[in-house]
Amino acid sequence: AQLDTLDLVVLVALLVGSVAYFTKGTYWAVPKDPYASSANLNGAAKSGKTRDIVEKMDETGKNCVIFYGSQTGTAEDYASRLAKEGSQRFGLKTMVADIEDYDYENLDKFSEDKIAFFVLATYGEGEPTDNAVEFYQFLTGEDISFESGASADDSPLSSLKYVAFGLGNNTYEHYNSMVRHVDAALTKLGAQRIGTAGEGDDGAGTMEEDFLAWKEPMWAALTDAMDLQEREAVYEPVFSVDEDEMTTLEDDSVFLGELTAAHRAGQPKGPYSAHNPYIAPIAESHELFTVKDRNCLHMEIDISGSNLSYQTGDHIAIWPTNAGAEVDRFLQVFGIEDKRNVVINVKGIDVTAKVPIPAPTTYDVAVRYYMEVCAPVSRQFVSSLAAFAPDEATKNEIVRLGNDKDYFHEKITNQCYNIAQALQSITSKPFTAVPFSLLIEGLNKLQPRYYSISSSSLVQKDKISITAVVESVRLPGASHMVKGVTTNYLLALKQKQNGDPSPDPHGLTYSITGPRNKYDGIHVPVHVRHSNFKLPSDPTKPIIMVGPGTGVAPFRGFIQERAALAAKGEKVGTTLLFFGCRKSDEDFIYQDEFKKYQEQMGDSLKIITAFSREGAEKVYVQHRLKENAPLVSELLKQKANFYVCGDAANMAREVNLVLGHIIAEQRGMPAERGEEMVKHMRSSGSYQEDVW
Ligand code: FAD
């Protein structure tokens, strides 16, 4: 077929914009019948496949592996996008690999005509993501040695060519430390980096643009290094999506939102984990304050009988369901509303492609339970839809949006549109030509959200409390409210549990009873993530906690624990909480409970409050911290642990600064010494953050 100029532009936009998952479905990645086995469906290695990446690439004819270290799915998404672009634009034989699925001792056998990408997120306090811990420890370990017997001094990785991109957040102290450390370690071992080591910054909100800006020079360098030829590309689906007219959604084989095959069969069994969530009953739920348009939830999640356990300070992950209104919008925009209940089979076309959606399933279920359809949209993804626009004018507009960063920001990003809203803002015609595989490739898997557990495991080992503020925000300039996926779902569950006749908050409807009614009686899928945010093992040690708003969540657990110890007659150290909110009679959560703990703990519990909307001046926790400098300093001298929880962007950063000032001022040191002391406290574990 002839290509006109516009088509070429569209194709270029498309190939630049090709967005895909090769392996998003690591949870479901097992060959042949991926859903036949039950619990741990994570990754090739666990299903008995090789852990030898060199062998794997030879076997499957690949010359490019894209490893990802991902916690929330973004790094995994970028890895998939790079794989797709590498294959369509440069003819690389790409595969995406979860970094924990392979061994590293034979990276010295990686051949020179191949390339390894490392797409690595940094998590928390400069830590590797859960799936990259072993890799990181291996690479940065003291006595590193390879299968061939080579040691660090022999430049063992001299044949390894690699590309590196990191995902970080500059509001954290150890910004992008994973990619920086891995890059340094690989270079030290003799490996050759191609292009620069890219760094995306979530803190500045520029992750996507950082990624786009980094990858073009990287591809140019890689083209030189590997002698690649850039070529025109058309959309090549990674997955086949076939409608199955013979099977109905009543069929036992069809996934109706279940997260594993065992769940589908109605026989989930432990151990429960990030790959096998537990469908937990919500024992009790209520709101912590009632103010117009603001909701804050307290929920008790019953884990008795699940074999799940937690420790005070851990996190719980909640697996959400998308709101009905957004599911409907998505299906309408892509013209699949009428066939929402048609059963579809989704299969990987390439052998290394892993299907991110458990199948067979239906369009409706895929969108409701498995796809992140409400998230902000990327310019790359929108531009990949140009070739499938319903008419020329729409196509032109999409091409413009794809090519013009500022225009895209004005029209889409600043409006806070999700993908369906974005397309609705361009045209009212449905995008019926978009292949469903492109949507599966281009959108993330629906991710669980984490919550700091707000109870003490000592006091209630079988019930996990969560404290969550319902996200309902109008961002400046946007024309509509953004409704958080998980928190609005939890609000609906709470309303249903409390007999609200219309349990759908803000006009959002939910499939409250879940797949095959398995969530009826108010259940929600969860798993527990252990964290390092911990009380000192010695309860007599003083602690200072700074937790405004829902940042108080883990501290409610800490205080609950110390109050219980005090009630048993044990001695507990000074327990100082800085809490902040808008008004004392509006959103001071757990106020009554704290009074009760005060009775049990007497003088050892001190709560210092900051109300930002009560006086003429706005007062925040960091101001109170400063005012109480002598007390804070005295407690630090007594070896107090210092904890911060809540808003990462502003509060945590300021608290860090203020503490440095306090130390310097109170001990008569120069300001830099104060900062150093805080750094030292961080590295020794006496300054701990749980921020988001
Ligand atoms: P999401 O749908 O994930 O949206 C979140 C935000 O993203 C929105 O408010 C909006 O700002 C933005 N957004 C979403 N969609 C769009 C769009 N289309 N366009 C533009 N912007 C958009 N929260 C608590 O309340 N309590 C806790 O104790 C707590 N602990 C946490 C502990 C950890 C370790 C972490 C990582 C997070 C914690 N959080 C906690 C935050 C929590 O995980 C969720 O991020 C939060 O509840 C919002 O989830 P959601 O699904 O409702 O919102």
Task: Return averaged pLDDT per consecutive 10 residues of the chain, 692 residues in all.
Answer: 40 40 36 32 51 95 97 91 92 95 94 97 89 95 86 90 96 90 96 97 90 95 96 86 96 97 95 96 96 93 96 98 97 98 95 90 98 94 95 98 94 95 98 97 94 98 98 83 95 93 76 95 96 96 98 98 97 98 97 97 97 94 98 98 93 95 97 95 94 90
Q: Is 465 in the pocket of ligand 1 (CB under 6 A)?
A: no
- Ramachandran sector of residue 85 (left: φ over 0; alpha: ψ -120 to 50; beta: rest): alpha
Q: Which of 482, 556, 651 to mutate to test the pocket of ligand 1 (most atoms within 8 A of CB)?
A: 482
Catalytic residues: 452, 645, 690, 692
Report d(CA 140, CA 181) in Å as an integer.
8
Other CB atoms within a 10 A radius of the CB of residue 511 amount to 21
CB 26 within 8 A of CB 47: no
Compute, in angstroms, the gap from residue 169 CA to the centroid of ligand 1: 15
Ligand 1, atom 9: closest residue by C-alpha: 471
Residue type, 535: L
> 539 exposed, middle or buried (CB, 10 Å; 0-12, 13-18, 19+)?
middle
Q: Which of 344, 270, 279, 274 is nearest to 307 (CA)?
A: 270
Compute CA distances 474 → 57, 108, 146, 321, 482, whole Å: 48, 52, 53, 22, 6
* 591 CB neighbour count, 10 Å cutoff: 16
Closest to 622 measured CA to CA, from 583, 659, 677, 594 = 659
Strands in 63-137 per DSSP E: 64-69, 94-98, 115-123, 127-128
Collapsing DSSP to helix, strand or coil, 37 comes out as: coil
CATH T-level assignment (fold) for domain 239-266+322-442: NADPH-cytochrome p450 Reductase; Chain A, domain 3 (1.20.990)
Which H or E run includes 74? Answer: helix 74-90
Q: Per-domain residue ranges for the chain? A: 50-226, 239-266+322-442, 296-319+448-529, 543-691
Residue 481 CA to residue 416 CA, distance in Å, equals 8
Q: How far apart are CA 543 and CA 642, in angstroms?
A: 6
Neighbouring C-beta atoms of residue 373, cutoff 10 Å: 24
Is the CATH number of domain 296-319+448-529 3.30.390.30?
no
Give the three-state DSSP class for 302.
strand
Q: Encoding tokens for residue 252?
A: 């036992």
CA gap 678, 675 in Å, rounded: 5
- 315 touches ligand 1 (CB under 6 Å): yes
CA distance 82 to 76: 10
Query: How far are the Cα atoms of 215, 245, 298, 530, 572 from residue 454, in angstroms, in the given order?
Result: 41, 48, 9, 14, 19
Q: For 434-483, where are the alpha helices, taking DSSP H only?
A: 436-442
Structure tokens at 659: 């503490």
Contact 648 CB / ligand 1 (< 6 Å) = no
CA distance 361 to 171: 41
Nearest in space to 211 (alpha carbons), one of 380, 407, 418, 399: 380
What gap in Å lies between CA 275 and CA 416, rounded to an integer? 31
Nearest-5° Cα angle at 387, 24 to 447: 25
Angle formed by the axes of helices 651-666 and 671-683, nearest 10°: 120
CATH code 3.40.50.10860 for 50-226: no
Candidate of 373, 449, 473 to mutate for ligand 1, largest count of ligand atoms within 8 Å of Cβ: 449
For tokens 């020329």, name the residue: 392
C-alpha to C-alpha distances, 578 to 204, 564, 619, nearest whole angstrom: 27, 20, 12
Is the beta carbon of 482 within 6 A of some atom in ligand 1?
A: yes
For the chain, give me the number of helices (H) and strands (E)? Answer: 22, 23
Ligand 1 touching residue 313 (CB < 6 A): no
CA of 622 to the centre of ligand 1 (A): 23
Which among 359, 478, 371 has a CA at the least distance from the CA of 425? 478
CA triple 194-137-196, angle to 5 deg: 15
Return d(Cα 403, Cα 397) in angstroms, integer: 10
pTM summary value: 0.86
**Nearest CA residue ID for atom 26, ligand 1:** 468
Give me the sign of the Cα torsion angle 15, 436, 326, 333.
Answer: positive
Amino acid at site 559: I
82 C-alpha to center of ligand 1: Å?
26
C-alpha 570/C-alpha 557 separation (Å) is 17
CA-to-CA distance for 99 and 121, rounded, in angstroms? 12
How far is C-alpha 331 from the chain's CA centre? 25
Query: Cα of 451 to ligand 1 centre, how many Å?
Result: 10
Whether the CB-CB separation of 518 and 266 falls below 8 Å is answered with yes
Taken in order 328, 332, 338, 344, the sign of the CA dihedral is: negative
Which of these, 358, 275, 382, lies nearest to 45 by C-alpha position? 275
pLDDT at residue number 212: 92
9 to 235, 319, 398, 506, 675: CA distances (angstroms): 14, 40, 11, 41, 52
Query: Could you check whether the bond before residue 360 is cis, i.e. omega within 30 degrees of 0?
Result: yes
| Distance (Å, whole) CA 465 – CA 552 | 12
**Which residue type sits at 217?**
P
CB 238 within 8 A of CB 349: yes
Which among 322, 487, 651, 691 is the best mutation to test ligand 1's pocket, defined by most ligand atoms within 8 Å of the CB?
Answer: 487
pLDDT at 48: 56
Question: Which residue from 106, 86, 94, 103 is spatially nearest to 43, judged by alpha carbons?
Answer: 103
Domain 543-691 CATH class label: alpha beta
Q: Do domains 50-226 and 543-691 have the same CATH topology?
A: yes
